[in-house]
Amino acid sequence: MADYNAPVKDMRFIFEELCDFEGLNGLPAFADVTPDMVGHILNESARFTGEMVAPLNQSGDQQTSTLEDGVVTTPDGFKEAYASFVEGGWNGTPFTPEEGGMGLPWTLTTALQEMWQSANLAWSLCPLLTIGAIEAVIAHATPQLRATFLPKLVSGEWTGTMNLTEPQAGTDLSLLRTRAEREDGHYRLKGQKIFITFGEQDYTDNIIHLVLARLPDAPPGVKGISLFLVPKFLVNDDGSLGERNNVKAVNLEHKLGIHASPTCVMTYGDNDGAIGYLIGDEHDGLRCMFTMMNNARLNVGLQGVSIGERAYQQAVEYAKSRVQSAPVSGGGDSATIIQHPDVRRMLMMMRAQIEAMRAIAYYTNSALDVSRHHGDAEVRRANHARMDLLTPVVKAWCTDLGVDIASMGVQVHGGMGFIEETGAAQYLRDSRIAPIYEGTNGIQAIDLLGRKLLRDGGGALGDLLDEMAQVDADLLATQDADCAAVQRSLAEGRTALRTASEWLLDPKNNDIDAKFAGATPFLHLTGTVVGGWLMARSALAAHKRSANDGDRSFLEAKIVTARFYAEHVMPRVHALLPEITQGSASVLALAEDQF
């Protein structure tokens, strides 16, 4: 397995050219986040992940986490790496100093999370869930609960989990059966949850579970769900740990990938019931949990970027060292496979899509930062709408591509990629969960079409399409052949996306099943075009920088990669558009008994 080297240079380029990091620095909340600080934080995180976390990736996959008598043991080195992570203050990067954090923008934290996930996806899931739990507690918990639990959650001394799924209730949470009973100042929970990531671990002495359950008088459906904070150990008034709560892991799931991550079956209340504390209002738990879920969806989308980057780095290293066959152009002697055009094509496809995915993930999080901290209410509103629109795209488009890229990494290795010792197969196995959890990608497509396009009449997407068009003149003004090719491709992509959205919004098309039959192609069309827009902006920025910047090799690669995206990825829009506007009949034609 190749070493992991965080792509710090590309991260900083995206911050500066696509995310208006200078503008973020101008907001009072981020006034102290200077370029020098950003560089130091990125470099230190790159050192930490490269030296401490990445070397555990393959060994952790092979050793796996184990469960015995309710106690989980994580693979060798995982606990120590987490202790160093906490000691470095990494868990609290996006939270305010008042909450015990560093007060960094989510945009920067996104880059740090990419490093953690690329280095070791299974290990990174613990802080990912904790950060989401912190968001939910900050947004919805009482001051007393925040005072009791936030400091150690933010520091990482305690970890957090998200408990939604039950054997009979996956996407449809209206079917959940876990019960909660009111009891003098708290609640008693009884039930079972499955697929609980890091539901039990040996990192910390307490785990804070956020659990969805029903009260006895709850109305039916999702409007009858409440959210509860259920600690592994109860906490005394002085902050010390009290008695063990009635919650435990009873099984670990045996999974296709992320073997080192303990995915638990959890039981609540085998005896008198697990003590829990209400988060938000009774029967309003799903809305409160969505704070955590939306955070997790952006971070899971980033997993597509992260696993793709790790697979790409390994594929490049292998292609530069593997000698096989003479060049097709002649020359007689066998050459390294990176000399072969088809291997180059695969590496460029991996590289271009990763850069587009990274750009859209970081850009969406920069919109999140502005939506929370800008002084102008209208600017906050517009950025919230942009973030809301792109969240399902980040989650689904990036993770679908992450699987494709990891698979392509195996292909670059040839037969050696199918052998576990090289490590290429692990990236493919690990990547496969990301399109499934935190809302399957089909659900994300439904969200994009139903809640984000149809509900607002296409307003947010229309604003984005109008903004995309503004880059055309600047690209053409360069009088550069690469930029001109990128502009032509982007214009075609915008036309396809606008045509698709207008067809979906047309009131004459009143067959809702026909529209939603094209939801996933529509999401992929949106991701492809938005990614192309950001790649176009990257090419333009690299062209402008090249006049004065000494790093010509890096900037030339940015421009060439953007042109490759324009010529090899953007043409997919011409296949996706008819899938949306003409393909529903064959999707829906067969009767159920014909399958």
Query: At residue 347, what is the residue type?
Result: L
**DSSP H or E run through 209:** strand 207-214
The CATH number of 8-140+151-155, from 3.30.420.40, 1.10.540.10, 3.40.50.300, 1.10.3720.10, is 1.10.540.10
Taking 90 as the threshold, does the pLDDT of residue 548 lie above it?
A: no
Taking 90 as the threshold, does the pLDDT of residue 295 lie above it?
A: no
What 8-state DSSP symbol labels residue 99? G
Confidence of residue 294 (pLDDT cuts 50, 70, 90): confident
Query: 53 near 116, Cβ under 8 Å?
Result: yes
SS (H, E, C) 333-366: CCCEHHHCHHHHHHHHHHHHHHHHHHHHHHHHHH
Q: What is the pLDDT of residue 289?
A: 86
The percentage of residues in the chain with a pLDDT greater than 70, rounded to a whole number, is: 100
Taking 80 as the threshold, does the pLDDT of residue 342 lie above it?
A: yes
Instruction: Write the pLDDT tens digit of every residue in 402-452.
Output: 999 999 999 999 999 999 999 999 999 999 999 999 999 999 999 999 999
Residues 6+ apart with CB under 8 A from 275: 183, 186, 187, 188, 189, 230, 234, 245, 246
For tokens 């003479």, name the residue: 326
Q: What is the pLDDT of residue 564?
A: 98
What would the mean pLDDT of 46-53 be, rounded to a whole number? 98
Average per-residue pLDDT for the chain: 96
Query: 200 near 70, Cβ under 8 Å?
Result: yes
Phi, psi of 352 (to 5 degrees): -65, -45
The percentage of residues in the chain with a pLDDT greater than 90, rounded to a whole number, is: 93
Within 13 Å of residue 185, how many CA atoms lie on the same side as its CB? 2
Q: What is the pLDDT of residue 171?
A: 85
Confidence of residue 168 (pLDDT cuts 50, 70, 90): very high
Separation between Cα atoms, residue 493 and residue 497, nearest integer Å: 6
Q: Concatenated DSSP letters for 67-88?
A: EETTEEEPPTTHHHHHHHHHHT
Taking 80 as the threshold, does the pLDDT of residue 331 lie above it?
A: no
**DSSP-based three-state secondary structure for 268:** strand
Q: What is the pLDDT of residue 74?
A: 98
Query: 253 near 265, Cβ under 8 Å?
Result: yes
What would the mean pLDDT of 459-467 be, rounded to a whole number? 98
What would the mean pLDDT of 482-510 be, rounded to a whole number? 97
Separation between Cα atoms, residue 122 and residue 5, nearest integer Å: 18
Taking 80 as the threshold, does the pLDDT of residue 549 lie above it?
A: no
**What's the count of helices (H) and strands (E) in the chain, helices before strands?**
21, 12
Instruction: Write the pLDDT tens digit of every residue in 62-121.
Output: 999 999 999 999 999 999 999 999 999 999 999 999 999 999 999 999 999 999 999 999
Separation between Cα atoms, residue 151 and residue 100, nearest integer Å: 6
In whole angstroms, what separates CA 506 from the centre of its chain?
A: 32
Q: What is the pLDDT of residue 53?
A: 98
Tell me the two tokens of residue 62.
């092979």
Query: 101 near 156, Cβ under 8 Å?
Result: no
Looking at the annotation, which residues are catalytic? 438
From 306, 282, 311, select the one nearest 408 (Cα to Cα): 311
Query: At residue 186, what is the residue type?
Result: H
Confidence of residue 4 (pLDDT cuts 50, 70, 90): very high
What's the start-to-end Cα distance of the chain, in Å?
42
Residues 6+ apart with CB under 8 A from 98: none
Taking 90 as the threshold, does the pLDDT of residue 165 lie above it?
A: yes
Per domain, the residue ranges of the chain are 8-140+151-155, 159-284, 440-587
159-284 has which fold? Butyryl-CoA Dehydrogenase, subunit A; domain 2 (2.40.110)
Q: What is the pLDDT of residue 332?
A: 74
Instruction: Write the pLDDT tens digit of every residue in 370-403.
Output: 999 999 999 999 999 999 999 999 999 999 999 9
Torsion of CA 524, 525, 531, 536, to 10 degrees: 160
Instruction: Give the pTM.
Output: 0.97
Separation between Cα atoms, residue 149 and residue 571, nearest integer Å: 50
What would the mean pLDDT of 298-323 be, rounded to a whole number? 97
Angle 119-124-125 from CA coordinates, rounded to 5°: 145
Instruction: Write the pLDDT tens digit of every residue in 172-219.
Output: 888 899 999 999 999 999 999 999 999 999 999 999 999 999 999 999
What would the mean pLDDT of 487-515 be, rounded to a whole number? 97
